[in-house]
Amino acid sequence: MTQIVTRFAPSPTGLLHLGHAYSALFAWKIAQKRGGRFLMRLEDIDINRCRPNFVADLHQDLAWLGLRWPTPVRQQSHHFAFYQKALEDLKRMGVLYPCFCTRKDLERELTDMFGAPHYAPSGPDGPLYPGTCRTLTDDQRSQQLATGKAHAWRLNMDKALFRASRSGQDLSWIDERAGLQPLAAELMGDIVLGRKDIPTSYHLAVTLDDHLQGITLVTRGRDLFPASHIHRLLQILFGLDHPRWYHHDLVKDAQGQRMAKRRQSLSLKAMREAGQTAEEVMAKLDLSKAF
């Protein structure tokens, strides 16, 4: 049997909190329990929001929790050319289209179509893209591209699913907790795979890197469950072999709300600077019930 490889892949856009500690320890412990390996990866594609001090802090937080990982750590911002190449491959397959919409355009379009953006058909991450740029003619598309207008690259979900259905590959994936999942990527709509500012997005980079790094079990919070449908679809399009997944519960704060960087949830840094021990944190998280 192949050796299990897990990973924790934080984005250095803020300080880590208890929710991250749970995710990191979950990946670490499950690898240990099954005699496998644990990797750490920096998902820092969002160059405007990532900060070097958050990288330094998260290294200290994870070491404080007792985690160890092989170095050098893969840092996504050093590999844009690699993601760009994959994006070109998808363009050649004919499953991407350029999208020139701005946030304002989208709001206007959704308001025109549905009365207000929040009445529009919605996916796990908010209103689904209404398809404005999908229906441009070839001429309109070339004209817009020729003007140099900023554009993202979106997946044409119908075309991608059609191609997947003809690939002869497995149109499902396995979550070790929730069981067999028939592919349902359409619930995410025409997602962005190449952003306006960088030649990738979370979905593309995470799928390629998990493959490149030989991850056999992708563990992460339940909030990312729907994203795994997209990742499985991308694996099919690229013909990559697939890992298994385990989406774990999310840590809630005293008010029953899930931890979030933007809500300034109590950080691991603050806990360690206040003299708390890693053992106290682990007791609070009680991973023994996790698996």
Residue position matching structure tokens 């929730």: 178
Which of 11/267 has CB closer to ligand GLU?
11
Stretch that binds ligand GLU, among 3-11, 29-37, 122-130, 153-161 (CB under 6 A): 3-11
Task: Single out the residue of 31, 96, 206, 237 in contact with ligand GLU (rule: CB under 6 A).
Answer: 206
Compute the distance between CA of residue 109 and CA of residue 164 in angstroms, rounded to an integer.
30
Which of 31/120 has CB closer to ligand GLU?
31
Compute the distance between CA of residue 29 and CA of residue 27 in angstroms, rounded to an integer.
6
Task: Single out the residue of 4, 5, 30, 43 in contact with ligand GLU (rule: CB under 6 A).
Answer: 43
Stretch that binds ligand GLU, among 6-14, 169-177, 272-280, 281-289 (CB under 6 A): 6-14
Residue position matching structure tokens 């396995």: 174
CA proximity to 216, closest of 44, 5, 65, 63: 5
- Amino acid code (one letter) for 14: G
Binding status of residue 217 toward ligand GLU by CB under 6 A: no
Task: Single out the residue of 5, 10, 58, 200 in contact with ligand GLU (rule: CB under 6 A).
Answer: 10
Instruction: Copy the structure tokens of residue 132.
Output: 């404005």
Binding status of residue 209 toward ligand GLU by CB under 6 A: no
Binding status of residue 248 toward ligand GLU by CB under 6 A: no
Instruction: Copy the structure tokens of residue 112.
Output: 């025109």
Instruction: Copy the structure tokens of residue 58.
Output: 């998260």
Compute the distance between CA of residue 184 and CA of residue 35 in angstroms, rounded to an integer.
32
Which of 110/234 has CB closer to ligand GLU?
234
CB 241 within 8 A of CB 173: no
Binding status of residue 6 toward ligand GLU by CB under 6 A: no
**Which parts of this chain interact with ligand GLU (CB under 6 A)?**
9-11, 43, 206, 220, 224
